[in-house]
Amino acid sequence: MGFFEEQNGRLIFRENGETVQVEAWGTDSLRVRSRILSDIEEGNAALLKQPAGQVQIQMDEWSAEITNGNIKALLEVQPWGKALQMSFYNQKGELLLREISNGGSLVRKARYYRNRPGGSFYLKATFESNPKEKIFGMGQYQQERMDLKGCNLELAHRNSQASIPFYVSSLGYGFLWNNAAIGEVHFGLNTTEWVAQSTKQLDYWITAGDTPAKIEEHYADATGKAPMMPEFGLGFWQCKLRYYNQQQVVDIASEYKRRGIPLDVLVIDYYHWKRCGDYRFDEEYFPNPKEMVQQLHDMGIETMVSVWPQVDWRSENYEEMKQQGLLVKSNAGIDVQMLFHGNNVFMDPTNPRTRKYVWDKCRKNYADLGIHTFWLDEAEPEFGTYEYDNYRYHAGPVEEIGNIYPREYARMFYEGQKEMGQEHIVNLIRCAWAGSQRYGALVWSGDIMSTYEDFRKQICAGIHMGLCGIPWWTTDIGGFHGGYTEKPEFREMLVRWFQFGTFCPVMRLHGCRQPAQQIINKAGEVREQTGADNEIWSFGEEAYPILKKFIAIRELMRDYTRGLMKEAHEKGAPVIRALFYEFPEDPASWDAQYEYLFGPDLLIAPVCWEHAGSRKVYLPAGADWIHAGTGEAYAGGQEYEVEAPLETLPVFLRDGNQSYLIGEI
């Protein structure tokens, strides 16, 4: 009896209580699972069921191979300790990724399991590392890094951090850690280590592709694609913390209309309710929300409303939700999971009954009024202390399954809207996990600071998010915290950020502007504050015409942007693209930072340093480039110092495409 066997096109290895299963999972892709003293679990954290493809399996006593199109796994039993080592190759025979060996007398384990109480395991999977490899993706981490080689990353969500465990390698493969457990990954120069703090089994997916675009297409097939972006997602969105009453909302919309400034969406932020968990407007400040929504629709403007997953102990729905088991549970202590305007616990969207209950409330109190898009805030969720081992969802312990929360939150609204017959769905959300894109999730980068440093971090984050399957992504233009509207330095930065926002998948102005105003209701309660004005005419006479111009540029690009959204929907292509996505043969494109492609034709170089009037721009080899502002031609494969006074930024047209923009920027 050998170590290997074939079962229904799957390659199985067994030794000393461990079962390893390798199978084809989509085009040029393989799925690997391993478990100790149990059968392989068939559930999926992120992957959709895929056809097997053209599978070939060969076996002998000490080794076996499984090939699916352009990827092959070689499984070899090492004589010392009979440990299994797996290696992955492309169709050219080039090594993509390999587990560590047992090291002979070192007795290392590529798949290391340590028992935990309750039948789960601490798991560490270790691979050899190619020091020349470059790694991109993994979601949204607040750092100024493009190549993630050498980085240590937490596999957990926080406010402004979205952990999506998929990366694209410069060696020509993509890798998904198909495990929603809290953990970490270390992209070291000697080894790569993936850690799950609590899990039942190892589960990952690997795909081979000759180009990053092909890798992304395989990944989108495996985890899902975004729906088609609604038309109102292509223009300008106005938001602030916060429009706190009905008249204010209508007045702001009317002023945009009076000034002739196109506005697609106006956003009503949090605490338009009385208590978290009420899921409805507070009548004191919004006495006739249906009339308000209709007024905005008559102006051609969609209304977006914020929804929080917190449920205040004083909410009108708290006792019923608690009795019905629709809330996240704390394993110890009192169920207070966030302190904000009261004691709050989180609703549990991993529970199908919760999804139905909360959507029914939101349908009745929002969707039935004509509201077609929602702002799903706090989606990590934002536990007060991020002590993940202290919480449990319907789907399991947070340590074991916690990272699916934002995806199931998006799913709750998407499925409810689809049931109502809504065709094109987009909902703004503060976090995501693998597969969130298929539920209409537009991720924004959270409560970031109003600084140039944070501005630069968002450029990196947007590129990484696109590479890990989230094509719809945006930021709070100008940052969220610390923006004083009267300060010249903030006004300058806001203009620069606004220019960047024009070339993001969604263009949305938001922030907690200072100085803020206190709000007290008729009962004498202090309510959530409202920030200083945050409309495009709020930042002085110099800024206003520049901001107005860039909204007009966004409108000019509507056909182009619609085409990018169609490509994202059909192929999973990112809207914001790293230079190497389009120019993988140019080595310098893999090193570019603080610049990106907006679709295939527009190279964007935001000015993201204080008082800068110019910046260096690298133009990839393999194309000729036209400066959108001046019409001047530039050769690819070189770096240039490009002038950029405050009213503009460097934008280049690939091979002269989208020439209607020449002179407009």
Q: Are 182 and 402 in contact (CB under 8 A)?
A: yes
Tokens of 282: 């507070």
Instruction: Round to whole Å and give the CA distance between 460 and 143.
Output: 8
Phi first, then psi, for residue 47 (nearest 5°) are -75, 140
By C-alpha distance, which of 617, 619, 615, 612 is closest to 636? 619
Q: Are 465 and 139 in contact (CB under 8 A)?
A: yes
278 an active-site residue? no
Q: Are 85 and 101 in contact (CB under 8 A)?
A: yes
Q: Which of 23, 216, 302, 380 is catalytic?
A: 380
Contacts of 458 (CB under 8 A, 6+ apart): 445, 448, 475, 500
SS3 content of the chain, % helix, strand, coil (to 5): 25, 30, 45
Looking at the DSSP assignment, which residues form a beta bridge with residue 59?
64
Q: Are 476 and 513 in contact (CB under 8 A)?
A: no
Instruction: Round to whole Å and give the CA distance between 411 and 416.
Output: 8
Q: Are 227 and 424 in contact (CB under 8 A)?
A: yes
Longest Cα–Cα distance in the chain? 82
447 an active-site residue? yes
By C-alpha distance, which of 511, 493, 504, 510 is closest to 455? 493
Tokens of 529: 């504050």
Q: Could you say which DSSP state residue 481 is in?
A: B
Q: Which of 335, 415, 447, 624 is catalytic?
A: 447
Tokens of 643: 């002038």
Q: Are 65 and 58 in contact (CB under 8 A)?
A: yes
Q: Which of 264, 377, 492, 586 is catalytic?
A: 377
Q: Could you say which DSSP state residue 499 is in?
A: H
Dihedral Cα 495, 501, 502, 503, nearest 10 deg: 130
What are the catalytic residues? 377, 380, 447
